[in-house]
Structure 1
Amino acid sequence: MPTVLITGCDTGLGREFARQYAADGYRVFATFLDPAKAANASDLAGNVEALSLDVTDHAAISELAARLSGEPIDIVVSNAGIGHPHKPFGQMDYPHWRRVLETNLIGPMKIAESFADHVARSDLRLMAFVSSRMGSVNLNLTGGAYAYRTSKAGLNMMIRSLAVDLAPRRICVMALHPGWAATEPGGRVPVEESVAGMRGVLHRAGPHHSGSFVTYHDQLLPW
């Protein structure tokens, strides 16, 4: 069966990605920010290896890539991210903004650079990044959420560039919108449904989908 690497498996979408892929027989490398949660991930049944990783720690990412150097990885799911609190204009928390950019944008780029060789050696050759429609410039009609929006808009641009740069290696790179998943108060899309939908998008993806920005129910979003 294929192999998948998933970041941000402590809770929510990442945890569900790991659970669903493992249940379908995939070999899963699941990374956790909290080492204690990685150590207690025995509830993830199947072929799951729990690993501690902070995506803002570039040395740790390089070390993990070296540790897995002999492993072809069919799918990389870059899911780790932070959002709240959304400070309004005039009350910006700039240290928090920098942390959001480090986690949501720069960390995923380091993941892409570090694991491109692993993906290129696989059969499926997929890199998926959990983005958000809040990163769409065209769809921003309500303003606010500066830190989160800019991190996801930057992520989307990064994905478009990766799609071009990795095309010679036949790696498909996609941005996925999970919907307003029930990982936070008010979320309406069940986590299981969101992840199943995103997995379906990836299952149907081919080289011609590279550089796409797609919802969990397989609808294209404007940049």
Structure 2
Amino acid sequence: MATIVITGCDTGLGVEFARQYAAEGHKVYATCLSPDTAHETRAIVGDVEVQKLDMTDHAGIAAFAASLGRRPVDILLNNAGIGRPHPPFGETDYANWRRILETNLIGPMKLVETLVENVAASELKMMAFVSSRMGSITLNQSGGSYAYRSSKAGLNMLVKGLAVDLAPRHISVIALHPGWAATEPGGRVPVEESVAGMRGVIHRAGRHHTGIFQTYHDQPLPW
């Protein structure tokens, strides 16, 4: 069975990723910002270790990696992310924008650099990033959401760069759009369906698919 590290398992997609992978018998490291209050995650049946990980805390990322030692990580699933609120033009909250970039973009890069040897030592050698259609420059027809959009557009560029740089090590790197998942008011895609779809994309993605940006129902998205 595979070993999977999942970030952002406090709520929503992260909880469901951990639940579905554990149900198949995989070893799951479910990382949370607040493990003590992640009751859904702690209730998951299976080989699940819940650990604290703040994506803005680089020392904490290093400590988490040290706890893994040299254990191979088949799938590094960068799911943690924040975005709200979305203030309109003229009311930008710059402190929150920096926090969003630290969580959605810089933290994932630090985690990748810290765990790359673990992924390279595994059989599957997969890095998957939960991005968003809102990070597509081509598809931006409505404007707004500057902080969130820029963080996900940057994440997409990160994925493309890593796909090139890690190809010699046979590591696949992909970006995923979960759909408007029902993790917030108005969300239309059931969380179970979104996660199952993204897991399917991960499962089907061979090394020649590295650098792709796909929806949860396996459709390509423009950058």
- Provide TM-score, normalisation by structure 1: 0.98
Question: C-alpha deviations, 1:67-89, integer Å up to 9, x for none?
Answer: 21221000010000001100100
The amino acid that maps onto 1:125 is: K
Q: Provide, for residues 58-114 of structure 1, a one-character-per-residue CA deviation record: whole Å limited to 9, x for no partner.
A: 011011112212210000100000011001000101101000000000011011111
Which residue in the other structure is 2:180 paired with?
A: 180
Q: Which residue of 2 aligns with 1:28?
A: 28
Q: State the match for 2:160 in structure 1.
A: 160
Change (3 A) 1:144 1:203: same
Confirm or deny that 1:86 pairs with 2:86: yes
Query: In 1, Cα distance between the equivalents of 2:110 and 2:38?
Result: 21
Q: Does 1:129 align with 2:108?
A: no
CA distance, structure 2, for counterparts of residue 4 and residue 198 of structure 1: 14
Equivalent position amino acid for 1:180 in 2 = W
Partner SS for 1:112: helix
Instruction: For 2:64, give the aligned amino acid.
Output: L
Superposed, 1:189-208 pairs within 5 Å as 189-208=189-208
Q: Is the CA contact (8 Å cut-off) linking 2:11 and 2:38 kept in structure 1?
A: no
Q: Which amino acid aligns with 1:110?
A: K
Q: Segments of 4+ in structure 1 off by > 2 A?
A: 37-42
Task: Provide the rounded CA distance (Å) in 1 between the counterparts of 2:38 and 2:191.
Answer: 20
Between the two proteins, the alignment pairs up a number of residues equal to 223
Q: Secondary structure at the match of 2:42?
A: coil
Aligned equivalents of 2:42 and 2:208: distance in 1?
38
Contact 2:15 2:41 in 1 (8 A): no
Q: How far apart are 1:37 and its partner, in Å? A: 2.7
Report the AA paired with residue 71 of structure 1. R
Q: How far did 1:179 drift? A: 0.2
Structure 2, unaligned runs of 5 or more: none
2:46 maps to 46
Over the aligned positions, Cα root-mean-square deviation in angstroms equals 1.0
Partner residue in 2 for 1:111: 111
For residue 209 of structure 2, what is the aligned residue in structure 1?
Answer: 209
- Normalising by structure 2, report the TM-score: 0.98
Aligned-residue identity in percent: 67
